């Protein structure tokens, strides 16, 4: 039960990070006349900048690594860790694919800009966090499936970069409807 609550809290935290940098819906001001037509949030919100999108994907990646460390920090039994991480991975994939759809809507130049920001965020992961991530991974060296599952989180951003996903994991791209 405690593990399920932890997973729920971690997924909720990742979802919050994913939406915190996203588009904000505008609400009508209290002083607006009641008869005034209110546009949908998509119409009122300017497009997310490539820099914002790159930062959003990078922040989600950073938060994902933190959550993996938190899940494994107390060295749960491998079976429990696998189940928890698999659920967390699917939630993270869904978030990254959503961000990837936003990225796909950008022009090639804007995509390159978003990718440059993302690369910068990935390379600036605090060394103590990455060491903690590697430490919790190495604790499960004897279980190759779990070890590899943990490793998947280090490259989870490929789910936001569809051309990379199609090249590296074509079956996954197909499963997710990414052509």
Q: How do residues 90-130 score in pLDDT, each as one tens digit?
A: 999 999 999 999 999 999 999 999 999 999 999 999 999 99
* Distance of alpha carbon 129 from the chain centroid: 17
Over residues 51-67, the pLDDT tens digits come to 999 999 999 999 999 99
Query: Are the C-beta atoms of 100 and 121 separated by less than 8 Å?
Result: no
132 Cβ contact partners less than 8 Å away, ≥ 6 residues apart: 69, 73
Provide CB contacts within 8 A for 102, sequence distance 6+.
Answer: 48, 53
In order of 11, 69, 156, the CA distances from 88 in angstroms are 6, 12, 11
Angle at 10 between CA 9 and CA 16, to 5 degrees: 90
Whole-structure pTM value: 0.74
């Amino acid at each position: 039960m405690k593990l399920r609550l932890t997973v729920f809290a971690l997924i909720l935290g990742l979802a919050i990070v994913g939406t915190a940098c996203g588009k904000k819906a505008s609400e009508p001001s209290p002083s607006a006349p009641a008869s005034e037509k209110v546009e949908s949030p998509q119409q009122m919100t300017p497009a997310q900048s490539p820099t914002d999108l790159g930062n959003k994907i990078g922040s989600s990646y950073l938060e994902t690594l933190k959550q993996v460390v938190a899940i494994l920090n107390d060295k749960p039994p491998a079976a429990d860790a696998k189940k928890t991480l698999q659920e967390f991975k699917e939630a993270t994939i869904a978030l990254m694919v959503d961000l990837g759809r936003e990225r796909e809507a950008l022009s090639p130049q804007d995509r390159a800009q978003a990718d440059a920001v993302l690369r910068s965020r990935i390379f600036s992961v605090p060394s103590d966090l990455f060491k903690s991530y590697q430490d919790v991974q190495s604790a499960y060296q004897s279980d190759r499936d779990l070890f590899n599952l943990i490793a998947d989180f280090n490259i989870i951003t490929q789910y936001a970069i569809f051309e990379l996903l199609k090249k590296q994991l074509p079956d996954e791209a197909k499963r997710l409807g990414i052509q």
